[in-house]
Amino acid sequence: MQIDDSRQADQRELVVVIGATGYVGARLVPRLIEAGFRVRACGRSLAKLESRTWSKMDGVELVSVDVFDKDSLSAALHGAQHAYYLVHSMNSTSKDFADSDRKAAHNMVQCASEQRIERIVFLGGLTGQPLEPASGKSKQDAPKLSKHLESRDEVAKILQAGPVPTTVLRAGIILGSGSTSFEILRYLVSRLPIMITPKWVSTPTQPIAIRNVLHYLIGCLKVPETVGRQFDIGGPDILSYGELMQIYAEEAGLGRRIIIPVPVFTPTLSSHWIHLVTPVPGYIARPLAEGLRNKSVCEPDSEAEIRALMPQDLFTCRMAIRLALEIMQHRIKDRKVESHWTDAGIMPPVEWANPGDPNWAGGDFYRDFREIVVEQSPAEVWSRLELLGGGTGWYYGNWLWRLRGWMDRVIGGVGLTRGRRDNQRLYAGDALDFWRIMEVKDEKRLVLSAEMILPGRATLEFRLKDLGQGRTRVQQIACYQPQGLLGLLYWWSVKPLHAFVFNGMLRGIAAGDDKKIISGPSFAQSI
């Protein structure tokens, strides 16, 4: 991997942000530039990085990095003074996120040491426990942490045990438009006026606004006293989850919620409850739900010290929620959503769907290829194609798409509830209902990768070709690679619906006006 050496004349310190496409990382990058640093923004997908509004800012360099590939990680850290490590492995493909996080942290320690990084800053989880047990107590006396919080704690210890000084900030619930915690809170309260809840609604928590988190993260690089230290960061309020829900209801203009805690709600049941009511999928909901049983309150001495080192106005929970609601409304209206929890999804490779491969390559493989020729320019067709999903829907058979989304949610998938980050524009890496946008080439190509639960892998692609004289050929290619007998049965069971749904979708993209359709929809013989 080549790193841009043309910026060496720039005297600003170079900071590497590992995890720049995540919720916190995407907000941190532009603020580091404003604070006077150069930034090397790193993520798994270069296309995803390029879709960020700050990608072309002066002083920003984009680098594709795999934290499990030491060569890739080492190259990304080369020549930098500082590094933010904002990585976690909670995703739909990770069978053991704790083991993945452990391996990635060890790689970070080794590569940061070899590249002589001066310091690492890590944002971990607020466990409610001190780094070392109080005198006379053993770690066995402390409440058992959830797997997620235990993993965050382990990563912090791995980083701090290495030769590069590491500053660890431990935060609990982060309140901000688009954060996972805020979205769970928003959907639960908005959709359920009466809630039968687990006991964890009475667990004390100390949320913090995303603005305050960013202030502390950036301040770590400017305050020498934070080097190699650990601090708990939180807002001014300590309250229960139930109280937080009522505050949200008031700020959102909803009536007071009736909350009925019961002892039979296990973390597993809680995760299913969150999964069904909110857009947050089960693989994220379960670790988070398990962590809600742990008290997440700052150590007073640690919190007081960092407040003294980096003074700022801390937002109350009420003010943080109010700002999040206002910002969310303005950004959706102006189509400027800075970052969202869905941004953290993996963009899997789709080489298996390469139409140039022979039919027998990669095992069983099926392709449904249709096309339509319309009396419209590519720009006119693209303007409708770019509105796919979310509030617009899929132009035809929307009730079938909703049914498929509901079925996916029931069995633990993401469903259609994620919608889309921007109502007008598509960006590589964004979630689009139960798809992930893999590639966007304006007026030419759109590639989606399925993230619903399937017995196989699937992509949906649209290609536009300018035929001249105001005519455009629109090609739609659905590719599917089944997994086992169940995968084959799935394909042949849904295949009869393709003519109904896909042909209707193509007509809808052509604005539903038969006068604009010159030919098709029809099967295409070749790609």
How far apart CA 385 and CA 433 sit, in angstroms, is 14
Dihedral of alpha carbons 159, 160, 164, 167, sign: positive
Q: Please, which pLDDT band fits residue 9 given cuts at 50, 70 and 90? A: low
Tens of pLDDT, residue by residue over 70-121, are 999 999 999 999 999 998 866 555 567 788 889 999 999 999 999 999 999 9
Ranges of each domain in the chain: 87-341, 351-523
**Architecture label for domain 351-523:** 2-Layer Sandwich (3.30)
Structure confidence at residue 526 (pLDDT): 44
Q: What are phi and psi of 480, to 5 degrees?
A: -145, 130
Tell which wins on pLDDT, 346 or 422. 422
Comparing C-alpha atoms, which of 399, 4, 485, 39 is closest to residue 221? 39
**DSSP E strand stretches across 53-99:** 60-64, 82-85
Q: What is the reported pLDDT for 279?
A: 66
Between residues 515 and 425, which one has the greater pLDDT? 425
- Residue of 213 and 266 predicted with greater confidence: 213
Q: Compute the distance between CA of residue 15 and CA of residue 17 in angstroms, rounded to an integer.
A: 6
**Beta-sheet pairing, 445-450 with 194-197:** unpaired
Which amino acid does the sequence have at 242?
G
Q: Is the pTM of this model over 0.95?
A: no
Name the more confident of 246 and 192: 246
- CB-based contact 193:282 (threshold 8 Å): no
More confident residue, 501 or 135: 501
Residue 525, pLDDT > 60, answer no
* Residues 20 and 41 sit within 8 Å (Cβ to Cβ): yes
pLDDT digits (tens, 9 = 90+) for 335-355: 444 554 445 555 444 333 433
**Quick one: pLDDT at residue 495?**
86
Quick one: pLDDT band at residue 358, thresholds 50, 70, 90?
very low
Q: Do you know the residue count of the chain? A: 527
pLDDT tens readout for residues 54-64: 888 999 999 99
- pLDDT in the model for residue 219: 95
Q: Classify residue 351 by burial, with Cβ atoms within 10 Å: 0-12, 13-18, 19+.
A: exposed
Q: At what angle do helices 282-291 and 267-277 cross, to 10 degrees?
A: 130
Is the predicted pLDDT of residue 193 greater than 90, yes or no? Answer: no
Mean pLDDT across the chain:
81
- What's residue 8's pLDDT? 53
**Contacts from 348-353 at CB under 8 Å and sequence distance 24+?**
348/93, 348/436, 348/449, 348/457, 350/438, 350/447, 350/449, 350/457, 350/459, 350/479, 352/457, 352/479, 352/481, 353/457, 353/459, 353/461, 353/479, 353/481
Q: CA of 458: how far to CAs of 188, 349, 479, 481, in Å?
A: 31, 11, 5, 6
CA angle 194, 197, 203 (to 5 degrees): 125
For 178-189, write each residue's pLDDT tens digit: 777 887 788 788
Identify the pLDDT of residue 113. 94
pLDDT at 141 over 70: no
Task: Residues 87-341: name the CATH superfamily.
Answer: NAD(P)-binding Rossmann-like Domain (3.40.50.720)
Is the model more confident about 135 or about 361?
Answer: 135
Q: Which residue has the higher pLDDT, 343 or 212?
A: 212
- The DSSP symbol for 307 reads H
